[in-house]
Amino acid sequence: MSKITTGRVAYTNVRLLDPASGLDCTGALLTDGEVIAALGPDPAIPPGTEVIDGQGLCLAPGLVDMRVQLREPGEEHKETLKSAGEAAVAGGITTMICLPDTDPVIDEEAIVEFVARRARKIGLAKVYPYAAATRDLAGRELSEMGMLAEAGALAFTDGTHAIRDALVMRRALGYAATFDLLIVQHPEEPSLAEGGMMNEGEIASRMGLAGIPAAAEAILLDRDMRLVELTGGRYHAAHVSTADGLDVIRRAKARGLAVTCDTAPPYFMLNETAVGDYRSFAKLSPPLRSESDRLAVVAALADGTIDAVASDHAPQDQDSKRQPFAQAAFGAVGLETLLALTLDLVHGGVLDLNRALALVTAGPARILRLDAGRLAPGAPADLVLFDPDHAWTVDRDRFRSKSKNTPFDGHTVKGAVRRTVIDGRTVFQDA
């Protein structure tokens, strides 16, 4: 366990980065207990304050990861709240929002409260749950959204499954709108995606694998945009991966609809060729797409169509992944690589540092209406100190996650977390 600090702490000689306000300056930041007390080029540091020399590194708000599968309760052999918390803080993530597809499903107040209580007891990254939009994620009967929101659910989703029935989705958006709640959709038309293993196209045909057409994403998004217009609901599209899907969202935003979206690093870093020789670690949902789709995702990050980047952390054990490609489970872990992979947008000249950080801090916090992702007096002292230029090689065997399924194993990336602070406590410190 890393050193725990209490009381007043000053982080000096740092590059302060606050995407919420645009702040980018050399200076210091003072925490007092669980909150930020002051920051700026030369804030007053009271006597008796513990001083930590940041050695010119970047100090930013802790990352807010808005799409994580935690596997607890129900599949603790793949991941637990503790192992995910350890992985998160090593990656600079101070807040995680977990999907409801646990066992039992998060569709009752007691389970919402269990997840939050367990995370507080562990004392690592903060955890907020999504609750199921429909009971037991079955896509038929709506959950009790109002009561679940009062219990602490941040938004409502059927997780890795689309809400396929248009009438159910209309009712969900309308019901959520009465409480000003958010519906999060996995945008993939189920009947088109059913049985698919990877992106439909020449590579899938050559490999003899059933394909998932890119159109499956745009078709469901187009339907949902019409339902958003009909109901006045708030809607978020998760892990958008195609040019056509992004065009649908772009048009919806231009019409003033309350629509946001995120993507995940695989969809701006990799394309379908990463499947290679049936590499099951590159079997994702949605699947890795064509190079033209990848470039469209990069362009949408640059023009602001995409509001956030999430890890899409989906831990799978070896028995689930080391199978013939058709039988292998979907998903990849991503907590420990989220910052470095997002910073690739900076090193590649796509975004400046604050705009890239906004995608994993202020952006998701704004969508979910969380008091997180900003550096300001009175804000929670959730911080990450990092070296944006330190190069390292992704090694899945060194992951703190229980599961090791990453398509980025062996990739060289830039951006290393040196310290993570939650509510003023240092919870991770690089040796």
Tell me what pLDDT residue 7 has.
Answer: 87
Residues contacting residue 96 through CB under 8 Å, at least 6 positions apart:
65, 68, 70, 84, 85, 88, 125, 126, 127, 128, 335
Using CA atoms, how far apart are residues 221 and 240, in angstroms rounded to an integer? Answer: 10
pTM higher than 0.85: yes
* Average pLDDT per 10 consecutive residues for the chain, totaling 431 residues: 63 98 98 98 95 98 98 96 98 98 97 94 96 98 97 97 98 97 98 97 97 98 98 98 98 98 98 97 98 98 98 97 96 98 98 98 98 98 98 98 98 98 97 68
| Burial of 273: CB neighbours in 10 Å, binned 0-12, 13-18, 19+ | exposed
Tell me what pLDDT residue 2 has.
Answer: 37
Angle, nearest 10°, between helix axes 215-231 and 166-178?
Answer: 40
Query: What amino acid positions are annotated as catalytic residues?
Result: 312
Using CA atoms, how far apart are residues 387 and 75, in angstroms rounded to an integer? Answer: 35
Tell me what pLDDT residue 411 has.
Answer: 98
With H, G, I as helix, E, B as strand and everything else as coil, classify residue 317: coil
| Domains, the chain, with CATH or none | 8-59+381-429 (2.30.40.10), 61-368 (3.20.20.140)
What percentage of the chain exceeds 90 in pLDDT? 98
| pLDDT single digits (tens) 329-370 | 999 999 999 999 999 999 999 999 999 999 999 999 999 999
| pLDDT single digits (tens) 285-336 | 999 999 999 999 999 999 999 999 999 999 999 999 999 999 999 999 999 9
Tell me what pLDDT residue 388 has.
Answer: 98
Tell me what pLDDT residue 11 has.
Answer: 98
